Amino acid sequence: MFARRFSATLCALAIASIAYGAAPQQQFAKMGDLQLESKATINDCAIGYRTIGALNADKSNAILFTTWHTGTSRDAIGMLQSGALFDPAPWYVIVVDALGNGVSCSPSNSKTQPGTAFPQFSVRDMVESQHKLLTEKLGINHLHAVMGYSMGGMQTFQWAASYPGFMDVAIPIAGTPRLTSSDMLFLRIVEKSVVDEPAYAGGRYTKNPPLPMYNLLFAMNFDSPAHRSARTAPKDFEKFYRESMASDPDGTDANNSLWQIRAILGHDIAQGGKIEDAAARIKAHVYPINAAQDHLVNPAPSITFARLRKEEATILDTDCGHGALRCAMPAMKAVVEKALR
């Protein structure tokens, strides 16, 4: 879900992917004025995306990959090389930049609705914008698969709920069909850490503010206690603490991060109704992958969802918490490759 630490985890993969071959070109689709489910409108919205591979004649090999919290399509490329999450060679992979990530239309790059004037969007709006991109701009009316990590996994669940027959397979990784109270508690505290930071200035800052409490909250919760205790000796704690608290000068815009966090806070594919009903409407095969010790996204709803559908959730036995990718890539790859067959 959360890019600062997750993108650091992917740094080696991203570097390897660029060495493997030039990163696919950043592309943009001009969507015009994008109406949101709230009836608010994002003016002159552009959706960013990158593609890998070639679409076959019957358009049956298309895969949509969705980005995590503040992650970008460029960040995601490292996950999509042979030997990483899956081998993209047989597929036409569309990696789409989610609303608010600073590449697609966002508080940080809007000319007419900058900063706090930018409308609040939802995870459902992210999916709707991607559906418009595929159908209206790319001429794709069916996908073999949708997948994504963290907030990308939430978008994957929402894709399956919003467009039950649009894909054959949905693979939400470290996602959830709806938030638990523990997920909400964490996110509300993160939200508060941003808005209470004096340098945030109510979102009207002129320089991206340092967010020390925001960074520390992710440092505490991104890994499991066992992982952190094993990897950081007490003698090294002060160094770890200082590095965790420090802000990246080139890091994500604070409003972008906050708008996506608020979108996640509203995530529920059943929209307050019964998850059983939402699960029953989905026609795609759904293969959730979660980590047992994830302290950012509780795996319980994904497990329940799979049981309702008599499908299998993969629960990774690793102490890496939300960053299970760095510890369990071979196990994830095996599940993803099997699901894509």
**Which pLDDT score is estimated for 13?**
46
pLDDT in tens, the chain (341 residues): 444 555 555 544 443 444 445 779 999 999 999 999 999 999 999 999 999 999 999 999 999 999 999 999 999 998 887 678 999 999 999 999 999 999 999 999 999 999 999 999 999 999 999 999 999 999 999 999 999 999 999 999 999 999 999 999 999 999 999 999 999 999 999 999 999 999 999 999 999 999 999 999 999 999 999 999 999 999 999 999 999 999 887 789 999 999 999 999 999 999 999 999 999 999 999 999 999 999 999 999 999 999 999 999 999 999 999 999 889 999 999 999 999 99
- Catalytic annotation, pick one of 150, 193, 244, 257: 150
Our answer to whether residue 322 is catalytic in this structure is yes
**Which pLDDT score is estimated for 80?**
87
Our answer to whether residue 131 is catalytic in this structure is no
- The token pair that represents 225 in the structure block: 């206690």
- Cα distance between residue 121 and residue 281, in whole Å: 24
**Which pLDDT score is estimated for 45?**
98
**Which pLDDT score is estimated for 248?**
86
- Cα distance between residue 302 and residue 308, in whole Å: 10
Our answer to whether residue 69 is catalytic in this structure is no
Query: What is the tally of structural domains in the chain?
Result: 1
Which position has the token pair 């894709």? 159
Task: Kindly report the CATH number assigned to the domain that includes residue 323.
Answer: 3.40.50.1820
- Catalytic annotation, pick one of 97, 183, 223, 294: 294
Which residue(s) pair with 27 in the sheet? Answer: 49
**Which pLDDT score is estimated for 325?**
84
Pairing of strands 289-291, 285-286: unpaired
How is 104-140 classified by DSSP, letter by letter? SS-TTT-SSS-GGGSPP--HHHHHHHHHHIIIIIS--
- Cα distance between residue 299 and residue 249, in whole Å: 33
| Contact in structure between 129 and 247 (CB atoms under 8 Å) | no
- Cα distance between residue 227 and residue 213, in whole Å: 21
For residue 124, give its domain range.
3-340
